[in-house]
């Protein structure tokens, strides 16, 4: 579903994109929010020396960051409310070598208090995607007041 077929999603998408653009670490890593629909999110980052480990592979921390952020964004997009990672399980399937790292997250169960979100990470080399990681996350859904109290405390 896109904002065109879901007019109620347009303000949610705008708010999420605005919030993501203010995340210092997203900017530091150079990650971009490439796709956002209700209950799904795609984040991507291009290969740079600062994001690689000693063997020239994307660092596992970059993969974990993309999973953490994409699953939370997907959960927030599913219900239009703030969300915070409670936990995630990450399985690294193969070395993350390539020109670009892409994480696609989708909500499996959009609960009122906890959303369950799955994510898959791919490395792109010469336009071909290779599945390098998969994850399952529990995302705490917050109300606006709880989210504001986190910032002010």
- Specify the DSSP element, H or E, that contains 147: helix 144-152
The pLDDT value given to residue 6: 84
Burial class (CB in 10 A: 0-12, 13-18, 19+), 121: buried
Q: Specify if 4 maps to a domain.
A: no
Q: Per the structure, how many domains does the chain have? A: 1
Instruction: Label the pairing between strands 100-110 and 114-125.
Output: antiparallel
What pLDDT tens digit does each residue of the chain (153 aa) get?
Answer: 444 578 899 999 999 999 999 999 999 999 999 999 999 999 999 999 999 999 999 999 999 999 999 999 999 999 999 999 999 999 999 999 999 999 999 999 999 999 999 999 999 999 999 999 999 999 999 987 665 656 555
| Cβ count within 10 A of residue 47 | 21
Q: Specify if 1 maps to a domain.
A: no
The pLDDT value given to residue 141: 97
CA nearest neighbour of 106 among 41, 45, 44: 41
Q: Specify if 3 maps to a domain.
A: no
- Give me the helices (H) in 48-114, please: 60-79
Q: Specify if 28 maps to a domain.
A: yes
Q: Specify if 146 maps to a domain.
A: yes
| Cβ count within 10 A of residue 140 | 17
The pLDDT value given to residue 3: 42
Q: Specify if 105 maps to a domain.
A: yes
Here the CATH number for the domain that contains residue 22 is 3.10.129.10
The pLDDT value given to residue 146: 62
Q: Specify if 33 maps to a domain.
A: yes
**Domain with 54 in it:** 9-152
3-state secondary structure (DSSP) of residue 62: helix
């Amino acid at each position: 579903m896109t904002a065109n077929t879901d007019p109620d999603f347009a303000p949610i998408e705008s708010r999420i994109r605005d919030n993501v653009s203010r995340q210092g670490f997203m900017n530091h890593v150079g990650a971009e929010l490439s796709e956002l629909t209700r209950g799904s999110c795609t984040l991507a980052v291009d290969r740079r020396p600062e994001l690689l480990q000693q063997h020239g592979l994307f660092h596992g921390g970059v993969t974990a960051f993309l999973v953490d952020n994409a699953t939370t964004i997907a959960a927030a997009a599913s219900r239009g409310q703030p969300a915070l990672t409670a936990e995630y399980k990450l399985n690294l399937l193969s070395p993350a070598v390539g020109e670009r790292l892409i994480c696609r997250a989708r909500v499996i169960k959009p609960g009122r208090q906890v959303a369950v979100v799955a994510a898959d990470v791919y490395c792109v080399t010469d336009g071909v995607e290779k599945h390098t990681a998969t994850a399952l996350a529990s995302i705490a859904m917050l109300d606006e007041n709880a989210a504001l109290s986190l910032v002010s405390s």
